[in-house]
Each structure stands twice: as structure tokens, then as C-alpha cells.
Structure 1
Amino acid sequence: MPGWIWILLVIFMLAMLIGGAVYAIRHAMAASRSIGRVSEDLNRHMPQPPAAGQSQATDRTEGPAFALPLSQSTERYSQAHALVLERKEQRRRNHGLIWRRWKHFNR
């Protein structure tokens, strides 16, 4: 094989390597911009973490149940269970109202 063909092959190989690198870099940049937009959207919709000195449980005035006396723990449990029962009763009432409304809807 003549020497000038080897030179053409090397030039062709280098051109393909450079072209492939440019192609890969351009697509990587486009993908990073796309991922950046997605992460901005997610950050906008996600709640922000509290500041360094702030606690996450700001609404809790008492400690955990296992650190309290048993009487206080049972009182907290009974209050929470009463709220659960109230919510279930309200849901049952709303369900009945909706079904009564639909029962007379087409008349």
C-alpha cells in the first residue's frame, strides 16, 4: 500500500475522532441544560429544608411518647384516637350526603 493512503487514513481517523468528540460534547451540554431545567422545576415545587438552627418539628411542644410518663402517653393516644374517630365519622357522613344527592340527581 502506498504511503499517501496511510496519511489519508490517519487524517480520516483523526477527523472522525474529533467529530465524535464534538458530537458527544454538544449532546452532553444539551442534556445538562435539560437536566438543569428539570431540577429547577423540582426545587421550585419541593419544600425547602429548615435553616441550620431550626428544628423540623416546630409544632411539637412535648417530647416523644416513650420519654413521657405512661399516663401522659395514654392521654395523648386517646386524644389522637378520638380525632381519628371524628374524621372517620365525618367521612361517613359526607359519603352518605353524596350518595343521597346522586340518588335524586336524575329525577
Structure 2
Amino acid sequence: MPGWGWVILALVMIGGVAYGLVYAYRHLRSAVHMGGMFATALDKRLGRMADAKAAPRRPKDPAFTQPFSATMERYAEAQAQVEERHDRKRDRHVKTWADWSQFNA
């Protein structure tokens, strides 16, 4: 092979290595950014869980020892909390699907 062939081959190799380094650097930056977003979201969720568990609850008396109206009221409150939790879950689901519909648009 003539001398200029080796020069071209070396330049192509150096270009390929440089392109690989740039590609790896860009993906590393993207991964670090996504990792930061993941850590922030995880911290927010764990913080909410810690706040919810930090509030001490007084144990309630058994339902059969209280008047029926008090039991019905406790049940209604519990059902309201369940509905709120389902609404929050549905809202998160709708938001996630809205985000995904915009992802490749």
C-alpha cells in the first residue's frame, strides 16, 4: 500500500475514535441529567412517604364497641380517602399519557 493510503487510513481511524468519544460524552451527559431528574423525583416521593408515616395515629376503638352512626361515619371517611387516592392515581395516569403523546411529536 502506498504511503498516502496509510495516512488516509490513520485519519479515518482518528476520525472514528473522535466521533466515538463525542458520542459517548453526549450520552454520558444525557444519562447524568436523567439520573438527576430520577433522584429528584425519588426524593420527592420518599419525602411524601416519610411525612405520611411521621404523623402518629391513635389506635381507634373496634367498630363493634361504638354506635352504628360512628361506624358509618368512619366508613364514609375511609371511602372518601379511597376515592381521593383513585383520583390522584387517575390524574397521574392521564398526565403520563399526555407526556408520552408529546414525546415524539
TM-score, normalised to structure 2's length?
0.46
Higher RCO (C-alpha 8 Å, min separation 6): 2
Higher helix fraction (1 or 2): 2
TM-score, normalised to structure 1's length?
0.46
**Structure of higher CA gyration radius:** 1
